Structure 1
Amino acid sequence: MENTGIQRRSVVMLAAAAALGSQSALAQEYPSRTIKLVVPQGPGSGADATGRQFADFLAKYLNTSVIVDNKPGANGILAASTVAKEKADGYTVFLSSVSIASFNQHLYKKVPYDAINDFTYIAPVVDASFMVIASKRSGIKTWADFLKKARAEPGGLTFASGGLGNSTHLYMEKIARDLKLDLRHIPYKGSGPALMSVVSGETDLMCVTTVSALPQVDAGTVIALAQSGEKRSARMANIPLVNELAPQMPALPGWYALVGPAGMPADVVKKLSAAVIAFLDDDQNKKKLNEQFLFPIPGTSEQIKNRAQQESKIWGDLIKTLNISLD
């Protein structure tokens, strides 16, 4: 009887060891098939360019095939809700934006995903650089001119945006509220038409991505008042930072992060996070990103998850105060 008991325990222990070995082997084998990277914007967009650059690198880094699946629509809601329902095995990942993680739940009455609990935050990727610009017709040449004119003419200055509730809108609203200015918002259907309204003098001001604004600044059709970020870009060393001019302002929200469905295995997350870090460390990738004024934000999954939650609070409070709804 004693020998039988020992034999049974031995069988159980061998089975447990085999199961653990099998799980370890599966983790080591990842990836064994094609990875799908979902991008929440269409082909040719900024997110698409970044996504394809990362997908090419990831394929080489993990020695597998990676396809990009563009799912534009509803401010990223279509892409996010699709990924949230996928199997959490690391074969479907997502280039999420700050809008998807921190804005949408406040802009819409019903969002078909939980921005924190329905996803595994893998790693932060890049921050987009923005500029605050003024039209030449406005007569504004510096940040000090902007403040002086805005305070002298309450409600007189207009600012353009790429649409109600997006970053180009919310950041100018935040500037106005924090600096106690009365500015009039003029929304357009996209940042391109909004920028052209500043070029033509139809509107006075705008907060817009640097990659879009800089050609107009260089051509002398608009005036650069400030740039986002923690350090002045070498290509724009004469343009002050927003946080030099208004230290109380929060960071402008323009980041992208790699996420996947909730419950991804820790070993898989570790491999993908290492791939992001290697991608951001690569000199060729850094050069391409810099040309698009996208700046690497290396960090951990916990850091980007915390940032998403913090920015949800900051911008959610503003959205509520402004009573913005996109439903």
Structure 2
Amino acid sequence: MENKGIQRRALVMLAAAAGVHQAWAQDYPSRPIRLVIPQGPGSGADATGRQLADFLSKHLNASVVVDNKPGANGILASSIVAKEKPDGYSIFLTSVSVASFNQHLYKKVPYDALNDFTYIAPVADASFMVVASKQSGIRSWADFVKKAQAEPGRLTYASGGLGNSTHLYMEKIARDLKLDLRHIPYKGSGPALMSVVSGETDLMCVTTVTALPQYEAGTVVALAQSGDSRSSRMPAIPLVKELAPQMPALPGWYALVGPAGLPADVVRKLSGAVMAFLDDETNKRRLNEQFLFPIPGTSEQIKARAVQEAKVWGELIKSLNISLD
């Protein structure tokens, strides 16, 4: 009889706890949410994050405050969010670099990209272009490949820095096509692109939103664009996947994550809000203007993608013997 009494009390306590949790989840959010951005104001991540924050504020009927924490390729922001209480009031706009590259680029990363975060929802994927200097004499992808094969080690490509996406993507193209190119790193994509414009370097893989003004001004030659379909603003520019089908997709995605252990109800609420954001026609238009492709999907799908990207690009980073410590 005593054992039955203990069991009944335990069941009552469990039911009460479940009721408290359900009530808490229904009340969420009841205070402002902090959205941490791993880049500074004016960056691509900042523009995307602020657009998302504005929509979430209205959709969730709670203030969503952007908190810019630039530094160490997203390591600072990641470390902060990983240590926060998993209650849904500190969330993070992560990126492929933070989630899939950093653990291979740095000897010591103070967070586990997969296990220290709850993946909530994918947000958007950036478009890239491969461009050439007008002074290089390259006028098409075929010209690029032919010239690189004829003169191994002579063609140069610029990047926004060692281990930067603009470095890794161009190196992957060179490896997959068995080309010998020389890498010239710069401090940021802006100066790197200017080196292509001036003819100081021959090539670059860069985000479309950065390269498009130069392409439209006629100061660089566009060789290829990333994505699954050609941009309506560049219908004559072929896709990388058309020219080099063996190449993996050039990823530049953002996703919403929180600290590990976020309650499932909170994840569902936030992921539903992100889906609504991506379904909204105004948001679609604004993302497209920044050459960002909405990538609706589940938390499981974006986490699986992070794992796959880490494998593909981690192997490349290892083969290049890159260490940023």
TM-score interval, normalised by the smaller of the two chains = over 0.9
> How many Å apart are 1:20 and its aligned residue?
2.0
| Matched ranges for 1:152-163 at <5 A | 152-163=150-161
1:98-122: per-residue Cα shift (whole Å, max 9, x none)? 0101111111110000010000010
- Give 5+ residue unaligned stretches, structure 1: none
Q: Which residue in 2 is equivalent to 1:132?
A: 130
Q: CA deviation at 1:10?
A: 6.2
Structure 1 residues 156 and 66: alpha-carbon distance in aligned structure 2, compared to 1, 3 A threshold: same
Q: Where do 1:125-204 residues align within 5 Å?
A: 125-204=123-202
2:119 to 118, 121, 126: 121
Report the alpha carbon displacement of residue 19 of structure 1 after superposing the two structures with TM.
2.6
Q: Measure the CA separation in 2 of the matches of 1:30 and 1:92.
A: 13
- Matched residue, 1:104: 102
- Aligned-pair CA distance for 1:234: 1.4
SS in 2 for 1:86: coil
Is 1:321 matched with 2:319?
yes
Report the CA distance shift for 1:254/1:8 in structure 2 as closer, same or farther (over 3 A): closer
Partner of 2:39: 41
Q: Confirm whether residue 303 of structure 1 aligns to residue 317 of structure 2.
A: no
RMSD of Structure 2 on Structure 1 (CA): 1.4
The CA distance in 2 between the partners of 1:9 and 1:254, in whole Å, is 53
Instruction: Please name the residue that 1:20 is paired with.
Output: 18
Partners of 1:212 and 1:206 in 2: how far apart?
Answer: 11
- Aligned letter for 2:62? T
Matched, 1:271 2:265: no
Corresponding residue SS for 1:233: coil
User: How far off its partner does 1:291 sit?
Assistant: 0.4
User: Could you tell me the percent identity over the aligned residues?
Assistant: 79
Kindly state the Cα deviation for residue 13 of structure 1 after the two structures are TM-superposed: 4.7
Q: With structure 1 as the length reference, what TM-score do the two structures score?
A: 0.97
Q: Deviations over 1:49-91 (max 9, x none)?
A: 1000000000000000110010000000000011100001110
SS class of match (1:123): strand
* Matches of 2:187 and 2:12, distance apart in 1: 64
TM (norm. structure 2) is 0.97
Deviations 1:239-296 (A, max 9, x none): 1000000000001020000001001000000000001100000001011100000110
Aligned length: 325
**Distance in structure 2 (CA, Å) of the matches to 1:9 and 1:320:** 55
Task: Sort the Cα spacing of 1:145 and 1:7 in 2 relative to 1 into closer, same or farther, 3 A.
Answer: closer
User: Partner amino acid for 1:216?
Assistant: Q
For the residues of structure 2 that align with 1:217 and 1:17, how far apart are their CA atoms?
A: 63
Q: Which sections of structure 2, spanning at least 5 residues, go unmatched?
A: none
| Per-residue deviation, residues 164-213 of structure 1 (Å, max 9, x unmatched) | 00110000000001000000000000000000000000000000000111
The corresponding residue for 1:231 is: 229
Structure 2 residue identity aligned to 1:162: G
Match of 2:49 in 1: 51
Q: 1:9 to 1:310 in 2, by over 3 A?
A: closer
Q: Which whole-Å CA distance do the structure 2 matches of 1:218 and 1:143 have between them?
A: 18
Q: Measure the CA separation in 1 of the matches of 2:248 and 2:7.
A: 60
2:215 to 205, 214, 217: 217
Partner of 2:27: 29
Distance between the aligned counterparts of 1:9 and 1:253, measured in 2? 53
The one-character-per-residue Cα deviations of 1:18-51 (angstroms, maximum 9, x if unpaired) are: 3322211111011111100000000111100100
Aligned to 1:206: 204
How far apart in 1 are the matches of 2:155 and 2:88? 49
C-alpha distance in 1, partners of 2:11/2:191?
68
